[in-house]
Structure 1
Amino acid sequence: MNQLIPLSFHNTISLTIKREDLLHPHISGNKFRKLKYNIAEAIKQGSSTLLTFGGAYSNHIAAAAAAGKQYGLNTIGIIRGDELHDKIAENPTLNFAAGCGMKLHFVSRSDYREKHTPEFFNGLKEKFGDFYLLPEGGTNALAIKGCEEILTAEDSGFTHICCAVGTGGTVSGIIKSAGAGQQVLGFPVLKNEALSDDIIKFAGQGNWQLVTRYHFGGYGKITEELVAFMNSFYDKTGIPLDPVYTAKMVFGVIDLAEKGFFPENSRILMIHTGGLQGIEGMNRELKRKKKPLIKI
């Protein structure tokens, strides 16, 4: 079950974090929301297999594998990077997914870029037979329907709703369910000039904007400054943040608040979208580079 955790701040602004990461031990945060109606649809269609896509440390891959195990569905993960085929045991995300019963199929990065083409899709059908297709990151109309349930009546008093943005599905659901007087701020974790257009397709124009200067170099990139912030935040609050998504958003919100971006008496809700499983993999990379590690 998620929780609303108030955080202290030094002026008239109030900060609260909604811990969607607590929804489920393995299908957490926005992945729980995105998979909810897709799993129901797959079962309704009589499909016994979910097929989806992701990288080496993908939250979506881990969550889809766990969901398949929980609901008795076969799962297939198309993994970016054929060099990873013999490194499953060394990768905590892929090792977890395989342990849940997911069949991992590795493709080259160049082939992976063609996954949207009919030729690639037909090749998957020939190889694996019938399956229910989940897009990379899990974003589709049913996923957005699930993400609309992140906000509840309990959240109606907040003036600003903030969340990290990857493919745009989560923020689209939040935009669609936000109240008329609420401002939604999305913090992209990657460089994607077309992201606003993608969100408009799902959620239309409205009372929202993207804050694009807190991606820390792009998707999956992290700096010592961000690690220090995460560790300080954990020491002060006891709340772990994931390095790919939520940490960047929380850093951005606090930085904006300190710079006077938010009006006085703003009540800000930050959505913790989960992804904590990625910390172990990130720490392995940081250790290899002899950099400070993330506390957990």
Structure 2
Amino acid sequence: MNQSIKISFPKNISVSIKREDLIHPFVSGNKFRKLKYNLLQAKDEKATSLLTFGGAYSNHIAAVAFAGKEKGFKTIGIIRGEELASKINENPTLKFAKECGMEFDFVTRERYRSKEDLKFIADLKQKWGDFYLVPEGGTNDLAVQGCEEILTEADAQFDYICCAVGTGGTISGLINSALPHQKVLGFPALKGDFLQDEICTFVKNRNWELIQDYHFGGYGKVTPELVSFINDFFNKTKVPLDPIYTGKLVFGILDLIQKNYFPENSNILLIHTGGLQGVAGMNTKLKNKKLPLIQIHD
């Protein structure tokens, strides 16, 4: 569903949001898209278990846990940070995943960095048995295929397609399915230029650009300014945003409009990729720091 934002913009610029967050109550947004063909492939391979990776508040971990339960798979989450093993019930994401039946393997951050090494994968198979591997963030060729279905014929009217970027799968799908007159803009949640090369492994088109200026300090970093923006945006539009991805995306787009980045009469589509399950965990952090909380409900 595309939802227009009722805010006055200069130069006759229009902005709409594609509410991918409304696809599914628990496997929302890009996670639904990324898992669609991976789950079909796992079934084709007659796998009974899904194994994947993620951090303490990972949208991907929550989505895989629920999707696995819904589709009849055992799920295993390799979680970054040994200290979290004793804090499952204090962590909304991990608690939810556990309630969906996910089993956890908490590893050190150093070991977690080896998650793509063949030796690490072999060790996991020895411990957990055979499984279908879903990469961290869900990004692989099948995930990109799913994300290519985000845009429809009705979206041909837009000049710019904009999304937040984590592991690069969603923007790759958008790049592959965008029309020749459309430009795809990605807003990375992480610092660094490494995503450029990652995206290039999935795409051939050159109709895209990464806007690196709106990560607010890096992945998982949130400032009072960003929280205030998210809450103000919700009060004006009733569109909830998360602080890791979509909040930074929308902040960036509106800032670029004010800075005259977009030509007159531009028609912009923002992809709401979900991520709202992580707000509860972030609000716990903000509360502990005595900072304002993020509002996603009236």
Q: TM-score range by the shorter chain?
A: over 0.9
Equivalent residue for 2:233? 233
Query: How much does 1:114 deviate?
Result: 1.1
Query: How much does 1:154 deviate?
Result: 0.7
Question: Residues of 2 paired with 1:82 and 1:162: CA distance?
Answer: 36
Query: Helix, strand or coil: the match of 2:86?
Result: coil
Equivalent residue for 1:92? 92
The 5-angstrom pairing of residues 1-296 of structure 1 reads: 3-8=1-6, 9-11=8-10, 12-296=12-296
| Structure 1 residue identity aligned to 2:173 | G
Question: Residues of 2 paired with 1:113 and 1:179: CA distance?
Answer: 37
Query: How much does 1:193 deviate?
Result: 1.7
Question: Residues of 2 paired with 1:37 and 1:207: CA distance?
Answer: 25
Gaps of 5+ in 2: none
| Structure 1 residue identity aligned to 2:35 | L
Question: Residues of 1 paired with 2:132 and 2:20: CA distance?
Answer: 26
Question: Residues of 2 paired with 1:287 and 1:46: CA distance?
Answer: 45
Query: How much does 1:10 deviate?
Result: 2.6
- Report if aligned partners of 2:52, 2:76 keep a CA contact under 8 Å in 1: yes
Question: Residues of 2 paired with 1:278 and 1:28: CA distance?
Answer: 12
Say how many residue pairs are matched.
Answer: 294
| Structure 1 residue identity aligned to 2:72 | G
Question: Residues of 1 paired with 2:205 and 2:189: CA distance?
Answer: 21
| Structure 2 residue identity aligned to 1:118 | L
Question: Residues of 2 paired with 1:101 and 1:186: CA distance?
Answer: 34
Question: Residues of 1 paired with 2:90 and 2:33: CA distance?
Answer: 29
Question: Residues of 2 paired with 1:125 and 1:80: CA distance?
Answer: 18
| Structure 1 residue identity aligned to 2:223 | T
Query: How much does 1:205 deviate?
Result: 4.1
Question: Residues of 2 paired with 1:256 and 1:278: CA distance?
Answer: 26
Query: Helix, strand or coil: the match of 2:157?
Result: coil
Query: How much does 1:115 deviate?
Result: 1.1
Question: Residues of 1 paired with 2:109 and 2:198: CA distance?
Answer: 23
| Structure 1 residue identity aligned to 2:2 | L
Please list the CA deviations of residues 174-230 of structure 1 after superposition, one character each: whole Å capped at 9, or x if unmatched: 000000000100000101321111111111241100000000000011000000000
| Structure 2 residue identity aligned to 1:201 | T
| Structure 1 residue identity aligned to 2:265 | N
Question: Residues of 1 paired with 2:38 and 2:236: CA distance?
Answer: 37
Deviates more, 1:46-55 or 1:189-198: 189-198
Please list the CA deviations of residues 6-61 of structure 1 after superposition, one character each: whole Å capped at 9, or x if unmatched: 11333200000010000000000000000000000000110000000000000000
- Report if aligned partners of 2:9, 2:257 keep a CA contact under 8 Å in 1: no
| Structure 1 residue identity aligned to 2:177 | S
Question: Residues of 2 paired with 1:140 and 1:66: CA distance?
Answer: 20
Give the TM-score, by structure 2 length.
Answer: 0.98
Question: Residues of 1 paired with 2:99 and 2:110: CA distance?
Answer: 27
Question: Residues of 1 paired with 2:204 and 2:166: CA distance?
Answer: 17
Gaps of 5+ in 1: none
Question: Residues of 1 paired with 2:53 and 2:194: CA distance?
Answer: 20
- Report if aligned partners of 2:62, 2:97 keep a CA contact under 8 Å in 1: yes
Q: Following superposition, which runs of at least 4 residues in structure 1 exceed 6 angstroms of deviation?
A: none
| Structure 1 residue identity aligned to 2:164 | A
